[in-house]
Amino acid sequence: MSYNSTYLKFQEDVIPMSVFDVLKERGFIAQVSHEDEIREMLEKEKITFYIGFDPTADSLHVGHFIALMAMAHMQRAGHRPIALLGGGTGMIGDPSGKDDMRKMLTPEFINHNIECFKKQMSKFIDFSDGKALMVNNGDWLLNLNYVNLLREVGTHFSVNHMLAAECYKKRWDKGLTFFEFNYMIMQAYDFYTLHKNYNCVMQIGGDDQWSNMLAGVELIRRKDQKPAFCLTCKLLTTSDGRKMGKTEKGALWLDAEKCSPYDFYQYWRNVDDADVEKCLALLTFLPMDEVRRLGAYKDEKINEAKKVLAYEVTKLIHGQEEADKAVKATEALFGGGADLENVPTLEISEAEKTAKLVDVLTAQKVFSSKREARQMIAQRGLYLNNEAVEDAEFGLTPELFAEDGGVLIRKGKKKYYRIVVK
């Protein structure tokens, strides 16, 4: 691959362009609380800022990656990030953008997810020598005295103002529990605590967090009469407004066990033409001149830009070795002449060499159900060794596995798997 990304080179040097202008040019910024003040502060000072992550799953997903990239740009400009893990707020769950109340999570589940998040974040953010901090809000939220909280914080919140917030409006008709109603107060208290303990002056988060983030800004300004700011990043959406990062199996996870580097690569290799430039700007460190050059490609040539996008993003998430493997696997399937070593492999037992193909593929999670598999066969969308499977009752045979490469399965136009006997 001829394109070499600046693979998160941590450095002390301040980049020539203001980081605010960098974030704006690359398309991160959605809303800011005090634009002129923020711009001046980021140009003249080295600040501490934070981004919160509620550990609702055991892996970060591509939606989190936007925030991590914003955090990395800020760190590279000399600012200190705090990654705030929601050991406390995760016990309630953010109602923003949700039609129904979130499932209540156990402390054990939350703590496990926090440990997973810590490992993943360390790939993108340099936590050495105090360059960034990782903090758990459970350290202060879980031990709060309720009456003291009401006296200290509750007096600064107007119920009328809270109910007007976008994060609650959506749930008003369907029912909003008092349990969830407290989330805004808890998030605001997080900012107040980080401001008090670490001189944290700015919160960055997704655009759906705007109301919650403003609450924290206002709490600090009212209680301490000190400046505080917030900035939201645009959510990762397609050109027609749909949320990106959804796959057949759910979210586009950053954990290789939940989404293989090959599948991750293929997702970006197949994004819509209209979304390529935006994704290059937000999810890679390629210079913007290069981003614009690649984004200007049209028709067949845009595929070259997609290759760069897929490689760069996969390299950031999974490392260069896995990105190279994903490229080789793709070349093997679409270019011919390469081996199939890096194509996703499904291992079956000797006994399964004579099983029905539908049963094997369903057991291996290629399909969510036998019904789904049969539907694809009926639509002539399932191929075995480049021949369409026409019979839903088709059974494997030992002869199919005579070759060392095993059996090649194609699901739809671009999803490939290799079945081998373990």
366 token code pair? 């290629």
Q: Is 98 a catalytic residue?
A: yes
Give catalytic status of residue 243 as yes or no: yes
Pairing verdict, β 229-233 and 200-206 = parallel
Closest C-alpha to 323, from 298, 345, 342, 300? 342
How far the first Cα of the chain sits from its last, in Å, is 33
Q: Which of 39, 102, 221, 234 is catalytic?
A: 102
The residue to which tokens 């001046």 are assigned: 40
Is residue 56 flagged as an active site residue? yes
Alpha carbon 375 to its chain's center: 31
**Residue 212 in contact with residue 243, Cβ under 8 Å?**
no
| 411 HSE (CA, 13 A, CB side) | 21
Residue among 31, 56, 238, 375 flagged as catalytic: 56
CA dihedral 226, 227, 228, 232 (to 10 degrees): 160
DSSP for 368-404, written as a single string: SSHHHHHHHHHTT-EEETTEE---TT-B--GGGG-ST
To which H or E segment does residue 282 belong? helix 276-283
Active site residue 24: no
Please answer whether residues 230 and 217 qualify as being in contact, where contact means their C-beta atoms are separated by less than 8 angstroms.
yes
Question: Alpha carbon 279 to chain centroid distance?
Answer: 13
Among the listed residues 120, 187, 209, 330, the single catalytic one is: 187
CA-to-CA distance for 153 and 160, rounded, in angstroms? Answer: 16
Among 21, 207, 208, 273, the one annotated catalytic: 208
Tokens of 171: 């749930």
Q: Of residues 112, 196, 243, 414, which has the active-site annotation? A: 243
Residue 79 zone, left/alpha/beta (φ > 0; ψ -120 to 50; rest): beta
Give me 126's structure tokens: 């340099």
Phi, psi of 302 (to 5 degrees): -60, -20
Q: Which of 31, 247, 364, 375 is flagged as catalytic?
A: 247
CB 329 within 8 A of CB 322: no
Catalytic, out of 26, 61, 79, 80? 61
Q: What element of type H or E holds 250?
A: strand 250-251
Catalytic (active site) residue 80 = no
Catalytic residue among 98, 170, 234, 374: 98
Choose the catalytic residue: 169, 246, 301, 414. 246
Our answer to whether residue 64 is catalytic in this structure is yes
Active site residue 247: yes
Active site residue 315: no
Tell me whether residue 256 is exposed, middle or buried, using C-beta atoms within 10 angstroms of its C-beta: 0 to 12, 13 to 18, 19 or more: middle
Which residues does the annotation mark as catalytic?
Answer: 56, 61, 64, 98, 102, 187, 208, 243, 246-247
